[in-house]
Amino acid sequence: MLSRTVPRCAARPTALLRPLRPHGAPVRPARCSIDRSRRGYASEAAEKDLVIIGGGVAGYVAAIKAGQSGLSVACIEKRGMLGGTCLNVGCIPSKSLLNNSHLYHQILHDTKQRGIEVGEVKLNLEQMMKAKETSVSGLTKGIEFLFKKNNVEYIKGTGAFADEHTINVNLIDGGETSVKAKNIIIATGSEATPFPGMTIDEEKIITSTGAIALKQVPKKMVVIGGGIIGLEMGSVWSRLGAEVTVVEFLGQIGGPGMDAEIAKQAQKLLGKQGMKFKLNTKVKSGEESGEAFKINVEAAKGGKEEAIDADVVLVAIGRRPYTAGLGLENIGIETDDKGRLVIDQEYRTKLPHIRVIGDCTFGPMLAHKAEEEAVAAVEFITKNYGHVNYGAIPSVMYTHPEVAWVGQNEQEVKASGVKYKVGTFPFSANSRAKTNLDTEGMVKFIADAETDRILGIHIIGPNAGEMIAEGTLALEYGASTEDVGRTSHAHPTLSEAFKEAAMATYGKAIHY
């Protein structure tokens, strides 16, 4: 049996979690009858086993898991649409635009060599936005169906703590109600971090929310922040015809989690597509100039100031926890200097029956991380144990080519002092990539030099976001690169590049 190491994560201890103390003993489902005719209202008389504040990815997954576990559960959501930022104005709609804008760009620039001749190609932005909205509405209704299937009460309104066990709710349709619970999970998510001195109107000065809803293609767009959100949204509008300039304070794109070698290659490939980059650059201010804006920038370490013109400015400098209006002052729950709710390794606040998951607490602000925490938190309530391996949470950037990674990057491994080895394999040597005429990028493995245990996997290229799942599984099970290299991969597939990169780490690749 393979041994497991404790995942390396500064945000929260991730050793095998100790059993709950007596106050955390599992609850039994309350045997109570609820008048289902009062749809949208919680029963004041019946105490729930669990109430969840927030119906985003963390909240709705926790609600479904709790319902499946036999708990009486209610979920409070103020948006009136389940799925939170991710489903309504984040991950899902942005991926619709990324996919369709890529198809548009490909038809314009990449069909002749494939033997496909097309006539005049036109962009119907309104229809592209409708396709996005259709995807969102279908998925939202699907979650509502799962709530009904698992006996989850859906309360549409804004919840705030009245006391440690009672939540008052201002209902969307008018009126108020309250709900009591033995256990409460806070899953209120995050919001875009504003840029000092710039007022967000979601039309000219926009966040990711405005970036998925522009009514016309801007001539010039400046993206403040070269992380995943900024690059994805910048990529969409660049493909559709905007001149996009990305201003990033750091010396690489993709954020500090992306491997530096991969980030450099991603910048090169996005640059070939028309995006411009100003790295090691800080934004000093922004000012209106007629119908447009002037963004004043200078070198991060100081230097000559420069002005960049823009019709639209996308502020993508990160996200911050959203806890406004929760009434935390009524129960004395703590936040840290970044606004994150303070919890222990079992997601408990100082009030042990109140737990916190997702973006409003520690860890990467990723939907799949929130889902894992949702399941673990409910398992703590019902079974006294739960676990999330924070060392095996994948990240994906859905540009073209895609970039995906899991585990540590090379700069992190080098800083740790661990002796390591690296193996790579280019998609240009992969048969499926060649037949698809999509050969940019590579797979990169980082492994412990002495044990061959995989420390990190980084991919830039076609289908990287799908392929990283194999890497995450390998990391979860403590696999060596030889374990992967000796696993048969179907031919011809892109995943063979994954196998060959593993082979290159412990020995030699066959096809390169």
Q: Which domains does the chain have, with CATH numbers?
A: 48-110+123-192+320-383 (3.50.50.60), 205-317 (3.50.50.60), 401-506 (3.30.390.30)
Q: Does residue 492 register a pLDDT over 70?
A: yes
Average pLDDT over residues 350-365: 98
Query: Which residue, 75, 21, 74, is CA-closest to 380?
Result: 21
Q: Does residue 327 register a pLDDT over 50?
A: yes
Residue list, annotated binding site for NAD(+): 225-232, 248, 318
Confidence of residue 32 (pLDDT cuts 50, 70, 90): very low
State the catalytic residues. Answer: 491
Confidence of residue 302 (pLDDT cuts 50, 70, 90): confident
State the helix-helix crossing angle for 260-272 and 228-239, rounded to 10 degrees: 20
Average pLDDT over residues 186-198: 96
pTM (2 d.p.): 0.90
Query: Does a cis peptide bond (omega within 30 degrees of 0) precede residue 7?
Result: no
pLDDT digits (tens, 9 = 90+) for 237-274: 999 999 999 999 999 999 999 999 999 999 999 999 99
Percent of the chain with pLDDT over 90: 89
Q: Does residue 415 register a pLDDT over 80?
A: yes
Average pLDDT over residues 174-202: 96
pLDDT digits (tens, 9 = 90+) for 61-91: 999 999 999 999 999 999 999 999 999 999 9
| Residues in Cβ contact with 342 at an 8 Å cutoff, skipping those fewer than 6 apart | 333, 334, 335, 336, 349, 350, 361
pLDDT of residue 37: 37
pLDDT of residue 44: 53
Q: Does residue 28 register a pLDDT over 90?
A: no
Q: What is the C-alpha separation between 376 and 118, in angstroms, rounded?
A: 51
pLDDT of residue 290: 78
Q: What is the C-alpha separation between 277 and 204, in angstroms, rounded?
A: 20
- Tokens 């710039």 belong to 198
